[in-house]
Amino acid sequence: MFKVGIGPSSSHTMGPMVAAARFLDRVRRAPFHPKGLRASLHGSLAFTGVGHATDRAVILGLAGFVPESYDAERAEAFAAVDNIPSISNKADFCYKWIGSINKLEATHTHEERKGFLLNLICFAGCIEGLFFFAAFAYVYFMRSKGLLNGLAAGTNWVFRDESAHMSFAFEVINTVRDEQPELFDEDLEARVIEMFEEAVECEVKFAEDLLEGGVSGLSLKDMRAYLEFVADQRLANLGMAPRFGSKNPFAFMELQDVQELSNFFERKVSAYQVSVTGEVAFDEAF
């Protein structure tokens, strides 16, 4: 589960994992709601724990995993934040720009309100508005080549959803701008620009990993230009001047929002009506 080959012992892995999961269950049932948690290892676990993966076991337990239902592939995917530098960079970016929301108890002061705005701008403009739109570009590029049409059709709904999230967030930001224009000073604009510059570089690093083997028709240069173009669009949404001045190099992204985006419940029955063969039971478990 934790290591291929000899060791580690179950007392250093599954035991702490189960203990952490039980502790989590007790906390969830407690009448109070803790704001944070710190775990300390003692005795032999403190001296040999890292080598035996005890730290990972405790973290997994606190995340709700237990040995009997542990999904190693899923855990490996989550471990990418520690093992793959380009993904780790994204995580560090998120902790820097939206992690402060965990310490924000109120928005009474000028700086607290700026902090809330920066968190919202980062989440809507950089994470949903840039990182997600990079992923959309990869999927729609494949569709433009006649590949992965099913995935692209499903992605259309994600695209629509994220676009709605962004629209709502930018509407909130515009409302704040109308009510408290003094918050949108040179300091805030400078921090927002710094944020978007860092976001573009984070996503370019990820693109370097993704495209290092070479993909015909999808170059790293074009991907950078696309990311800069999208960043400028988000800055425009915020009422700020463009920072990069790049044009969209991906023609397939210009039309993607008009393909297959009709609401499922607005379609005619014939659009999804198929014949049914065999027996149909409505009391069977899925």
pLDDT tens by residue, 40-72:
888 777 777 677 778 888 888 888 888 777 777
Token readout for 120 is: 């919202």
Mean pLDDT for 86-109 is 85
Considering the domain architecture, whether residues 92 and 59 belong to the same structural domain is answered as no
Mean pLDDT for 144-160 is 88
Considering the domain architecture, whether residues 98 and 72 belong to the same structural domain is answered as no
**Res 272 pLDDT > 80:** no
| 36 Rama class: left (phi>0) / alpha (psi -120 to 50) / beta | beta
The 10 Å Cβ neighbour count of residue 82 is: 11
What was the pLDDT predicted at 3?
A: 47
Q: Are 137 and 210 in contact (CB under 8 A)?
A: no
Which residue matches tokens 């023609």? 251
What was the pLDDT predicted at 206?
A: 94
Residue 101 binned pLDDT confidence (cut-offs 50, 70, 90): confident
Considering the domain architecture, whether residues 37 and 102 belong to the same structural domain is answered as no
- Of 244, 142, 166, which Cα lies nearest the Cα of 199? 244
Average pLDDT over the chain, rounded to whole? 82
Considering the domain architecture, whether residues 123 and 250 belong to the same structural domain is answered as yes
Q: For residue 217, give the 3-state DSSP assignment.
A: coil
What was the pLDDT predicted at 10?
A: 67
**Res 229 pLDDT > 80:** yes
Residue 28 binned pLDDT confidence (cut-offs 50, 70, 90): confident
Higher pLDDT: 128 or 50? It is 128
What was the pLDDT predicted at 33?
A: 78
Considering the domain architecture, whether residues 206 and 250 belong to the same structural domain is answered as yes
Residue 40, domain member (yes or no): yes
Considering the domain architecture, whether residues 127 and 145 belong to the same structural domain is answered as yes
- Of 9, 270, 2, 253, which Cα lies nearest the Cα of 152? 253
Domain that holds residue 48: 10-78
- Of 102, 112, 107, 106, which Cα lies nearest the Cα of 188? 112
| Whole-structure pTM value | 0.68
Considering the domain architecture, whether residues 101 and 56 belong to the same structural domain is answered as no
Residue 282, domain member (yes or no): no
Mean pLDDT for 146-172 is 89
Token readout for 265 is: 């419940």
Q: What is the pLDDT of residues 178-196, one digit of tens each?
A: 999 999 999 999 999 999 9
Mean pLDDT for 62-90 is 80
**Res 202 pLDDT > 80:** yes
Q: How many domains does the chain have?
A: 2
Which residue matches tokens 């724990």? 49
Determine whether 140 is exposed, middle or buried from the number of CB atoms within 10 Å of its CB (0-12, 13-18, 19+). buried
What was the pLDDT predicted at 270?
A: 46
| 182 Rama class: left (phi>0) / alpha (psi -120 to 50) / beta | alpha
Considering the domain architecture, whether residues 139 and 61 belong to the same structural domain is answered as no
What was the pLDDT predicted at 278?
A: 59
What was the pLDDT predicted at 279?
A: 61
**Res 236 pLDDT > 90:** yes
